[in-house]
Amino acid sequence: MARCLFEKIWQAHEVADLGDGVSLILVDRVLLHERTGPIALENLKTAGRPVANPGHVFCILDHIVDTLPGRGDATRVPGGTKFITALREAAGQAGLTLFDIGDPRQGITHVVSTEQGIALPGLTIVCPDSHTCTQGALGALAWGIGSSEAEHALATGTLRVDKPKTMRVTFGGALQSGVTAKDMILALIAKFSAAGARGHALEFAGEAVMGLDMEARMTLCNMAVEFGAFTGLIAPDQKTLDYVKGRPYAPGEGDYDRAVRAWGQLASDPGAKFDLEISLDATSFAPMVTWGTSPQQAMPVDGRVPDPGAENNEDQKSSMIRAQDYMALGPGTALTDLSIDGAFIGSCTNSRISDLRRAARILQGRKVAAGVRAICVPGSTRVKSQAEAEGLDRIFLDAGFEWRESGCSMCFFAGGESFGYRDRVVTSTNRNFESRQGPETRSHLASPETVAASAIEGRIADVRKYLSGAK
């Protein structure tokens, strides 16, 4: 029987069918960060249970760590230092690999897992973080879990999982200049809602997807969870193999060829059936920006805020009215008329070297507008070092951006550093919920290059003008 990519990985890892659509699944990798990792490890220790496979567990400091130069354990998140030191101590006691502050491997979990080769095609990967699905870009089955599930995975190397349905989204055609993977996923969510893939394992396919480089594919899979999906996956191809080869935790020379033969089977078979299929023409996509407080409230950058009165669904109408009140917008407002107070480039969605290069291309020789606080936080120490070797840091600094150490930073507000009260911010992150980046901060999601163009103009801007030479 023809099988899809998800079915192949699921069946290869199914330890037992527990009935009623639940399976016991073998877990290949567990990733922990300092917000939830210490809790899971402390509970295991209290229960007297060891970690089943210490070599398969990786602890990373990213969520709470400060990103200012010269940082240490001090953080502006209330009680945050205790979480940092607790993970460090617990990882040491359990014999787990730790990417600590000052370690050249440190960074955002879903950035370092791929750049270190921890995430590989065909593996199952879990982490107490909803954006674990990022790693599906390599053809891995990766999903977010809770801290209690993390305890079980650590102790047994397995998890009880409700089997999701399957879904395929095919993006046909080629992207136009200035349009990115971020725009693809925002266009998808805007059209089919933030619950469009609920209960499904989502495979991305099509010419536009396979035309993306690996880091752009990570952006696409990163926001599968914003579409409601259990996870997002892309079948491995030669780009995947080239990306993986030689990374620290990837198979060495003796095992690489055998791994490649196995990875070659990780594609949906011709005729494989999906529970739900969607096809979109990517040639018509434009740079996207959110206007509301959900990723589904997005539109092309040259669009105008919609009128709730034209919405027939009462729940949607109510949501639109609330979002417009929060964002201080009225129907018909042009996005490009909105002045901004802040610009942020970072997060597990858009902080890799290719993201920084594209933003730097827009910023080079230009200045951030007066009154705009602009910040760039590389996704890992490795990305930061590479950017500095290429001189990208100087471009950001000369333009007026702050240049930071790696970490999650102002992707989310946890009581520490944030943008200001009711600041309007254009951001390369993945969530624009109320107060996501600060107290009543108004966040507009966009690609890194749209963030860069907007920082220059002091208002939401259409990056295509910069790429065409019109600016």
Task: Give the tens place of pLDDT for each residue, 307-331.
Answer: 999 999 999 999 999 999 999 999 9
Q: Distance (Å, rounded) from C-alpha 104 to C-alpha 442?
A: 34
Residue 414 pLDDT greater than 90, yes or no: no
Whole-number mean pLDDT of the chain?
Answer: 97
Could you read off the pLDDT of 333-351 as tens digits, one per residue?
999 999 999 999 999 999 9
Residues 23, 221: Cα–Cα separation, whole Å? 24
Cα–Cα distances in Å, from 81 out to 14, 63, 78, 101, 155? 39, 11, 8, 12, 26
Residues 455, 345: contact at Cβ < 8 Å? no
Q: Give domain status of residue 85, yes or no.
A: yes
Which tokens is 267 given? 């594609």
Judged by DSSP in three states, 343 sits in: strand
Cβ atoms of 126 and 29 within 8 Å: the answer is yes
Q: What is the pLDDT of residues 246-274, one digit of tens each?
A: 999 999 988 999 999 999 999 999 999 99
Give yes or no for residue 413 having a pLDDT over 90: yes
Return the pLDDT at 398. Answer: 98
pLDDT tens sequence across 130-148: 999 999 999 999 999 999 9
Task: State the residue range of the domain holding 354.
Answer: 288-468
Q: How confident is the model at residue 468 (pLDDT cuts 50, 70, 90)?
A: confident
Q: Is residue 383 part of a domain?
A: yes
Q: Could you tell me the CA-to-CA distances from 156 to 35, 95, 149, 153, 424 in Å, in that order?
A: 22, 16, 11, 5, 46
Q: Are residues 300 and 446 in the same domain?
A: yes
Beta bridge partner(s), residue 14: 25
Structural domain contains residue 165: no
Residue finishing a domain among 106, 128, 160:
160
Q: How confident is the model at residue 470 (pLDDT cuts 50, 70, 90)?
A: confident
What pLDDT is recorded for position 253?
85
The β-bridge partners of 427 are 344, 445
pLDDT over threshold 90, residue 469: no
Secondary structure (DSSP) of 288-302:
EEE-SSSTTSEEETT
Question: Strands 276-281 and 165-172: what pairing?
Answer: parallel
* Res 213 pLDDT > 90: yes
In a domain, 243, yes or no: no
Mean pLDDT, rounded, for 425-447: 97
Flag whether 210 is in a domain.
no
pLDDT at 355 over 90: yes
Pick the last residue of a domain from 109, 129, 160: 160
Pairing mode of beta strands 22-26, 158-162: antiparallel
Let me know how long the chain is: 471
User: Is 438 within a domain?
Assistant: yes
The arithmetic mean of pLDDT across residues 405-418, rounded, is 93
67 within some domain: yes
pTM equals: 0.97
Q: Where are the alpha helices (DSSP H) in 28-118?
A: 37-47, 80-94, 109-115
Residue in the block written with tokens 């291309």: 361
> Do 434 and 440 touch, CB atoms closer than 8 A?
yes
SS3 51: coil
Residue 33 has pLDDT above 90, yes or no: yes
Mean pLDDT of 428-454: 97
Q: What is the mean pLDDT of residues 426-440?
A: 97
Average the pLDDT over 286-299 and give the result.
98
Distance of CA 299 to the CA centre of its chain: 20
User: What pLDDT is attached to residue 133?
Assistant: 98
Mean pLDDT value of segment 434-454: 97
- Mark which of 133, 160, 187 sits at the end of a domain: 160
Q: What is the pLDDT of residues 147-199, one digit of tens each?
A: 999 999 999 999 999 999 999 999 999 999 999 999 999 999 999 999 999 99
Residue 353 lies in a domain: yes
**pLDDT of res. 471:** 79
Neighbour-count burial for 223-262, b at 16+ CB within 10 Å, e otherwise: bbbbbbbbbbbbbbbeebbebbeeeeebbeeeeeeebbee
Q: What is the mean pLDDT of residues 88-117?
A: 98
pLDDT at 79 over 90: yes
User: For the chain, what is the domain count?
Assistant: 2
| Phi-psi map region of 329: left, alpha, beta (phi>0 left; psi -120 to 50 alpha) | beta
CATH number of the domain that residue 88 is part of:
3.30.499.10
Cα separation, 311 vs 322, whole angstroms: 14
> How wide is the angle at C-alpha 76 spanned by C-alphas 414 and 371, nearest 5°?
85
Phi, psi of 216 (to 5 degrees): -70, -35
Beta bridge partners of 425: 342, 443
pLDDT confidence tier of residue 404, bands split at 50, 70 and 90: very high
Distance CA 124, CA 48 (A): 26
